[in-house]
Structure 1
Amino acid sequence: MDAIDRQILDLLRRSARMPVSEIGRRVGLSSAPVARRIEKLENTGVIRGYVAVIDDAAVGEIDAFTEIRLTGDTATEKIEEIARRVPEVQQYYTIAGDPDALVRFRVRNVEHLQQVVNAIRRTGIVAGTKTLMVMSAWDRTHLVDDDHSRSSPARD
């Protein structure tokens, strides 16, 4: 991966729907080499997929983060078992230090959040949790500096 690949990835992080021709203009290549580079990044697993960024508040959902401390000698890999069983889990990170993991949930409301956290506490491998509810958010990777957020997909 070279500097141009990194520029392409940065542009796709900002808007995965940016046309290949526009990406090429910004990185100084024509569309064909950009398309080949994107395909290679997809085939090698660097680009794992494309998603729509949804405004959770606009659809009546909230995000929350829960710190999880595992019991005794529980392996951090057990967090994935929880994540796969609980559909409200959007992401999880095993981390160094205390706590053992940070889990991001998307839930309908505070009562739903309480039910989900309680269910995780009852798994038998969680020694403790601390939950933080998101009040507002900003994300560098989803800054769209032009109208490409509404244009056709990255292939043009």
Structure 2
Amino acid sequence: MSSRSATAAVMARLGNAGRRATRARARVVAATLRRDAPFSAEELAREVGRGGVGRATVFRTLDLLVSIGALARVHGVERGGRCVRYTPCAPAHHHHIVCRSCGRVEEVDLAGLDVRLAAIARTRGYASLGHTVEIAGICAECREGGA
């Protein structure tokens, strides 16, 4: 899928969720889809800010993209402190494992977990709206390097 069609697909999802498709939002969406690694809101705001997109628009759009499942929030570390980063979502629901030392994020397949969690919610009288699973650990590279 080309970057233009990927952006159009996410913008269509925003429209289906009742949100307006603005040029600023399209710029934010396109910038998120160009990323190969998890990114912070600040990094994205600096990038699209050069094109005239305001910081508030970036932060609001990131929240919208998370709400429609186009982005996932992952919790990591940056310069010794905790931070939130974002990563584009695979077409299917997925989960992450995050290195608490270097911030590396990987997608993990937890086949069957979605069904089990929905069943747990049902047995307790809840209508399951979704879930977030993030596994925290220290990656092999950091363990070997003593980070």
Calculate the TM-score normalised by the size of structure 2. 0.30
Q: Which has the larger radius of gyration?
A: 1
**Scaled by the length of structure 1, what TM-score is found?**
0.29
